[in-house]
Amino acid sequence: MSDDVCLAFGHPEERSKAISGPLVDRISLRDHIVEAEIGAFQVERGVQQRMSFNVVVEVRPSSGADTDDVDDILSYDRVTEAIAAEMAVERLNLLETLAERVADRILLEPQALRVFVRIEKLDRGPGKLGVEIVRSRQDHAPVHVATEVPSPVVVYLSNAALCSDNLGAWLDQLAAASKPVVLSLGMASSVPVDESGSVGLRVGLLSMEQNAWLLAARDPRCVVVGSKTELDWGMKHGQLSVWAPSKLVLDSVEVPVFDPTHAQSLAAWFAAEMQAQKLIVVGGDAANTSIETVTSSVDDAVLPL
How far is the C-alpha of 38 from the C-alpha of 119, rounded, in Å? 12
Query: CATH code for 153-295?
Result: 3.40.1160.10
Q: pLDDT value at position 253? A: 82
Q: Quick one: pLDDT band at residue 237, thresholds 50, 70, 90?
A: confident
How far is the C-alpha of 94 from the C-alpha of 282, rounded, in Å? 39
What are the DSSP calls for 259-291, one per residue? -GGGTHHHHHHHHHHTT-SEEEEES-SSTT--G
pLDDT above 70 covers what percent of the chain?
77
Q: Quick one: pLDDT band at residue 2, thresholds 50, 70, 90?
A: very low
Q: Is the pLDDT of residue 62 over 90?
A: no
Q: Is 182 helix (H, G, I), strand (E, B) or coil?
A: strand
Q: Is the pLDDT of residue 297 over 50?
A: no
Spatial contact of 78 and 58, defined as CB atoms under 8 Å apart: no
Q: pLDDT value at position 182? A: 97
Q: Is the pLDDT of residue 142 over 70?
A: no
Q: Which residues contact 116 (CB under 8 A, 6 or more apart)?
A: 12, 13, 15, 16, 54, 55, 56, 57, 132, 133, 134
Q: pLDDT value at position 242? A: 97
What 191-198 contacts at long range (C-beta under 8 Å, 24+ apart), as own/partner pairs, is 193/260, 193/261, 198/46
How far is the C-alpha of 41 from the C-alpha of 23, rounded, in Å? 43
Q: pLDDT value at position 284? A: 61
Rama region for 46: left / alpha / beta (φ>0; ψ in -120 to 50; rest):
left
Domain 3-136 matching CATH 3.30.70.80: the answer reads: no
Q: pLDDT value at position 240? A: 96
- Tens digits of residue pLDDT in 241-267: 999 999 899 888 887 877 766 788 899
Q: pLDDT value at position 149? A: 66
10 C-beta neighbours (distance < 10 Å), count: 13
Q: pLDDT value at position 305? A: 31
Q: Is the pLDDT of residue 201 over 70?
A: yes
Q: Say yes or no: do domains 3-136 and 153-295 share a fold.
A: no
Q: pLDDT value at position 205? A: 92
- Catalytic residues, by residue number, are 44, 121
SS (HEC) of 85-126: HHHHHCCCCCHHHHHHHHHHHHHCCCCEEEEEEEEEECCCCC
Q: Is the pLDDT of residue 29 over 90?
A: yes
Q: Is 199 helix (H, G, I), strand (E, B) or coil?
A: helix
Domain ranges in the chain?
Answer: 3-136, 153-295
How far is the C-alpha of 238 from the C-alpha of 235, rounded, in Å? 6
Longest dimension (CA), the chain: 75
Share the mean pLDDT of the chain.
Answer: 82
Mutual angle of helices 95-107 and 76-89, in 10-degree steps: 130
- Tens digits of residue pLDDT in 94-110: 999 999 999 999 999 98
Q: Quick one: pLDDT band at residue 138, thresholds 50, 70, 90?
A: confident
Higher pLDDT, 23 or 274: 274
Rama region for 275: left / alpha / beta (φ>0; ψ in -120 to 50; rest):
left
Higher pLDDT, 85 or 13: 85
